[in-house]
Amino acid sequence: MFDVVVLALALSMDAFAVSIGLGTKHPRQVTRLAVLCAVYFGVFQGLMPLLGYAGGKGLLGWIGAYAPWVAFGLLLLIGVKMIYEALSEGIEEDIAQITHKVLLILAIATSVDAMAAGFTLTLLPVAPLLSCAIIGLTTLVFSYAGVFVGRRSGAWLESKAELLGGVVLILIGIKMVVI
């Protein structure tokens, strides 16, 4: 279960970083924005790993012994992508108005990584629905808080959160093949 909590924390950093950026750029109606970010990001971040898990279950029979290496590769790619995004400008810079369409697009964009990471759930001795619920709830909490953090502190924490999430995912991937 510890692995799932660490995975949830790492995956939620992407949505947390976007929420910080949105809170920084859109300080009006911050409570409404926080609730919307929490719901959109939390729901998608909780559902996407379930899709990844289902796909991983189907592939598990074909890749068998190589599954830990595939999981390592996916987590490495996701981690490197998050690190790269942490070092570049965020998409929040270009968003003039927060609409449901914008939040839907951001929720999908931040949760695609979670779908790929959902494959790793096939290799952990955990219940997939419980794991996805933990991932979704963790993201919900971090997204909600991220808007307020962004409003108060500005964007200085935004890239650091995403950077930390990327490093943690890479470390989880390494653990998959070493242990």
What digits encode the pLDDT tens for the residues 135-171?
A: 999 999 999 999 998 888 766 666 676 677 677 777 7
User: Do 85 and 20 form a contact (C-beta atoms < 8 A)?
Assistant: no
Task: Dig out the tokens for 124 from the structure.
Answer: 């952990």
148 contacts: CB under 8 Å, gap ≥ 6:
23, 30, 34
What domains can you pick out in the chain, each with its CATH number? 2-178 (1.20.1250)
User: Do 11 and 139 form a contact (C-beta atoms < 8 A)?
Assistant: yes
What pTM was computed for the model?
0.76
Q: What integer is the mean pLDDT of 77-90?
A: 73
